[in-house]
Amino acid sequence: MATTDAGLASDAHEQPGHGHSDHGHGDHDHPSYLAHHFDTPEQQFDSGKLGMWLFLVTEVLFFSGMFCAYAIFRAWRPEVFEGCSQFLNTKLGAINTGVLLFSSFTMAWGVRCAQKEQHKLLTVMLATTLSCATVFLGVKAIEYSHKWHLGLLPAGLFSYDPSNPHPVGGPNYLAYICAPFVAITIGVAIWLVVSFLRGAKFQLECAKPLLVVCLCFFVGVGLGTILESGGEEGHHEDDHAVVASTDGTAAEHGKEHAHADGDQHVDHEEPAAAAVASLPAAGAMSNDSADLAVLERLASDATNTGLQDELAARKAQSERSGGGILYDVSDDASATVASAPENVLRPSRAGVFFSIYYCMTGIHAIHILAGIGVLVWLLVRSIRMDFNRNYFGPVDYVGLYWHIVDMIWIYLFPLMYLIR
């Protein structure tokens, strides 16, 4: 394969081409892949590559603005970043890192295939890269919808309530995120069937890998669901300990406070738990425990949402009245109003963390979407066997873009998910 003269082969290719010679191409012959203002394929490749590198420079500078915002807010409030990072699922982040690294590997392999004119293998590599991209987005869909459901939203919309972490009702965010992907998958499936029935061979060849790519999104969603539910047990103790404390386990409560105030207080956890255990349980101080029992029974009727809200409010109130006065043992000397601003989960503070989180990961996801767009273009061209050892520029340039998206995630992952 590699021994054929790619230049000559493509020259022959150009002859049946329609209308090429009518706009002045006839006077000097050059392969169809070589634009007429370039002398050689190498010159064409180098020009394109320089342009791509300059674009990547603007990408790096573009993302640096967000990394700068991250640096400033983290320098101001390190404890907020530590506290809020607990809400990000490290397993999902790590899986996504692996998926992106693998897609980078297949992309680099794809460039090699294009250079060596392995057309079939190039198509396989591009399809694999695309599939990894959709798996990544599927996992991301689970992450986002889970957080939106909890109310872990950007500043201004942040509505997470530790005493009611699983609000009943609310829209099914996952369905909204999945809807466009479902529509695209159905569209591709219909295209596949139609092109099969009409005997359109080329279209069939394009639709087959694209259907696999679309289905991989749902593989990602499934993977994310499994990991998210698997990580829930470990999660529960940290995030939702307050729920347990309303049932009277005051020791849990002390633990929750120790967590919320960052690791400088973790050393106090054991004495705090012991001290708190000797105190009356949260909720026992207020004498509406009987009301709570009644309400709990009423609220077990899931249709009675009004009562459920009231119950949630009462729980929050009684827990706060108990916890605020008796159990804030995080700092004995200053368990006063003055210590309140230190609360990591204050909406204005935690919201800023999630603003940065959504901004950075969201724009990264938009880059993944753009990458999917250009990779689909490459996939179609590779099925058309457009690339050869003198013309592999587009594969290389898209590869560079894909690697920089991966590189940005390499920094995002530890900075967002791995803060203690």
Partner 1 sequence: MSAHENAQEGYDFAHPLPLPLLAGTFLVLTLLTVLTVAQASFNFGSLDVLIVMVIATIKAVLVGAIFMHLAWDKPFNIICFIGSFVFVGLFIMATLFDSRQTAKDDIPVTDDAVVSAPAEL
Interacting residues with partner 1 (CB under 8 A)? 7, 39-43, 45-46, 49-50, 53-54, 56-57, 60-61, 64, 67-68, 71-72, 75-76, 90, 94, 97-98, 101-102, 104-105, 107-109, 111-112, 115-116, 263, 389-390, 392, 396, 399-400, 403-404, 406-407, 410-411, 413-415, 418, 420
Which residue, 17 or 65, is less far from partner 1 as judged by CB? Answer: 65
Which residue, 103 or 245, is less far from partner 1 as judged by CB? Answer: 103
Rounded distance, CA 77 to CA 261, Å? Answer: 12
Which residue, 47 or 249, is less far from partner 1 as judged by CB? Answer: 47
Task: Give the CA radius of gyration of the chain.
Answer: 28
Task: Return the amino acid letter for 33.
Answer: Y
| Shortest Å distance, C-beta 23 to partner 1 | 24
Rounded distance, CA 393 to CA 35, Å? Answer: 12
Angle at 95 between CA 94 and CA 97, to 5 degrees: 65
CB 132 within 8 A of CB 103: yes
Which residue, 108 or 157, is less far from partner 1 as judged by CB? Answer: 108
| Shortest Å distance, C-beta 233 to partner 1 | 17
Helices (H), 116-263: 119-150, 173-198, 201-230, 232-239, 241-245, 250-260
Which residue, 86 or 317, is less far from partner 1 as judged by CB? Answer: 86
Which residue, 208 or 403, is less far from partner 1 as judged by CB? Answer: 403
Which residue, 61 or 197, is less far from partner 1 as judged by CB? Answer: 61
Rounded distance, CA 93 to CA 228, Å? Answer: 11
Structure-derived torsion over alpha carbons of residues 192, 132, 62, 392, reported in degrees to the nearest 10: -70
Which residue, 98 or 156, is less far from partner 1 as judged by CB? Answer: 98
Task: Return the amino acid letter for 111.
Answer: V
| Shortest Å distance, C-beta 402 to partner 1 | 9
| Shortest Å distance, C-beta 33 to partner 1 | 12
Q: What is the DSSP letter of 340?
A: G
Distances (CA, A) of 12 to 198, 220, 222: 30, 44, 49
Rounded distance, CA 121 to CA 115, Å? Answer: 12
Which residue, 256 or 406, is less far from partner 1 as judged by CB? Answer: 406
| Shortest Å distance, C-beta 111 to partner 1 | 8
For the packed helices 347-383 and 201-230, what is the interaxial angle rounded to 10 degrees? 150
In 3D space, the residue among 283, 292, 282 whose CA is nearest the CA of residue 251 turns out to be: 282
| Shortest Å distance, C-beta 94 to partner 1 | 5
Helices (H), 231-346: 232-239, 241-245, 250-260, 269-277, 289-299, 305-322
| Shortest Å distance, C-beta 59 to partner 1 | 9
Helix, strand or coil, per DSSP, at residue 391: strand
| Shortest Å distance, C-beta 115 to partner 1 | 4
